[in-house]
Structure formats: structure tokens, C-alpha cells
Amino acid sequence: MERGDAVSLSGGKMLFLGGLLYLVFLAAAMPAGILARQIEKQTDNRVLVSNEQGTLWGGTADLSIIAANSAAPRRLGSVSWRFRPSDLLGGKLGFKLEFVDREALAAGVLRLGVGGVQCKDVKAEIPAGWLARQHSALAAWQPGGTLVLEAADFSFAAGEIAGQAALRWLNASSALAAQPLGSYRANLEGKAQGVAIVLATEQGALDLSGTGNWSRQGGLAFDGIARTRAGAAGLAPLLRVFGPAQSDGAHLIRIRGRPAD
């Protein structure tokens, strides 16, 4: 290598390093509202951010959500974030997020890029009753237990979803059942047209299984089966919600829900 080439390479490295330092400086000085507006844009204004404090480097804000068939936002809780400079090397804005409510907890990494949004190392623990208070359709069930969501890598880009996640309902119960229901697991897999869903029972008195799909255009389509296991009792009021029993004693689950306009 010629001496001139070595100097040129060193200059290129310095220019690259200077650019990174400039972006880090911008993150430290940029108002938190810029991140808030980006989150609202990426969620089609279904998630609203308010009371932002801090900068792009680190701060806090309140989150609200506009659920389907509802015009009024519901407050979810508070979120804090911390900028991840290392994600700049991949051409993305990365943040460590923590969501805190009086009952619900969630944490993960959010990466924003030109092509879309990536979520990594996500884990959330939410009481089932908390979720029912956010969605009136679940209120009559009065569900109990804990919902645990885990996703190592899930991304949304150009209208497509990729990655895998697992949603578990642990120690499930309902006011419509006289005994605990059990524990359940829904495996979620991103597809070109949405998210594929496979539901299975881990253990318990009520056996649930089924498959479905969710997409932004079509909403949720799910078909499954609910049946009691040997020795289970007191589940009839809950099973009647699904519809009349089939000849083998099973109750069919059929959910069709289109997104609100």
C-alpha cells in the first residue's frame, strides 16, 4: 500500500466517525416530540404519544391507544426510552424501551429505519384483566391470569410482517367458569399477508386449539375448538359463549373481525 493510500483511508475513517458523532449529538439535542410523531406515523395514529419529556437520546412519555370501533383514546401507561448509538452503524435509529403501568410491564428494543420498524428482545407481562379493561368486548368474560408476550425479532416493512413471537395465557380464569381454565400458548409468525396464529393448550380443564390469521386489511380470522377435559366441571356458561355443542361435545370457535375504518 502506498503512503498516499493509507492517508486517504485514514481520512475516510475520520469522516465516517465524524458523521456518527454528529448524529449522536443530534440525538442528544433533538426534542422527544420527533420520536413521538414517528411512532404515531408508523402505527397509523392508533398509538398516541403525549406529555413527552427529554430528548431523542432519552426521555419519557404517556401512551394511549385508539382501539377498533372506538374514537376515544384509552390511556395505556408511561414509556421511557434510551437511544442506542450502535444501531446507527446499521442505518437505523435504535431505542431501548420500557413500558410501565400500575399492573403491566414491557421492555424491548425498537429500531426505526427507512424500510420499516423492527422489534427485538421484546417481553411483556400483562394481567388479563388489564387487557379486558382496554377492550369492552372482553369485559363480560372478566378474564384472569397473566398474558406473557415474547418476541426475539419481529419486523414490519413495506406492508409485510416477518418474525416469530409467542403469546401465553398463564393460570387462565374467567368469571363465566367455576374453576381455573388452564394455560395456553399462541404461536405467532409473520407472513407476507399478515400474522399466522396457532393456538394450543399447555395444561388445564379447558382444551383450546385452532389456527387463524390477522391482517391489516382483513382483520382477525380464527377457527378453533373448545372442549372440556375429563373430570372438568363448571365450564358450561363459558362454553355456551362459543355456541351450541357439536355431536362429539366440542364447541366450535369462529372469529371474524374486520378493522375499523
Q: What is the pLDDT of residues 68-79, one digit of tens each?
A: 556 677 788 898
Same domain, 133 and 227: yes
Same domain, 165 and 119: yes
Same domain, 55 and 161: no
Task: Identify the residue with better confidence: 208 or 255.
Answer: 208
Same domain, 38 and 139: no
Same domain, 65 and 155: no
Residue 170 neighbours by CB distance under 10 Å: 15
Residue 101 is assigned to a structural domain of this protein: no
Same domain, 136 and 200: yes
Residue 106 is assigned to a structural domain of this protein: no
Same domain, 2 and 74: yes
Same domain, 70 and 175: no
Residue 64 is assigned to a structural domain of this protein: yes
Burial 146-168 (b: 16+ CB within 10 A, else e): bbbbebeebbbeeeebebebebb
* Under 8 Å between Cβ of 2 and 9: no
Domain total for the chain? Answer: 2
Task: Indicate the DSSP class of residue 183.
Answer: E
Same domain, 146 and 247: yes
Same domain, 52 and 19: yes
Task: State the pLDDT confidence band at 150, using cuts at 50, 70 and 90.
Answer: very high
Task: Identify the residue with better confidence: 117 or 212.
Answer: 212
Residue 98 is assigned to a structural domain of this protein: no
Residue 14 is assigned to a structural domain of this protein: yes
Burial 66-96 (b: 16+ CB within 10 A, else e): beeeeeebeebbebbbebbeebbeeebbbbe
Residue 140 is assigned to a structural domain of this protein: yes
Residue 81 is assigned to a structural domain of this protein: yes
Q: Which of 25, 57, 91 is the last residue of a domain?
A: 91
Residue 193 neighbours by CB distance under 10 Å: 15
Range of the domain at 237: 115-261
* Under 8 Å between Cβ of 238 and 178: no
Residue 154 is assigned to a structural domain of this protein: yes
- The mean-pLDDT minimum among 15-24, 86-95, 96-105, 137-146 falls in 15-24
- pLDDT for residue 24: 53
- pLDDT for residue 261: 40
Residue 208 neighbours by CB distance under 10 Å: 22
For the full predicted model, state whether its pTM sits above 0.85.
no
Q: At a CB cut-off of 8 Å and minimum separation 6, what does 12 contact?
A: none
- pLDDT for residue 139: 75
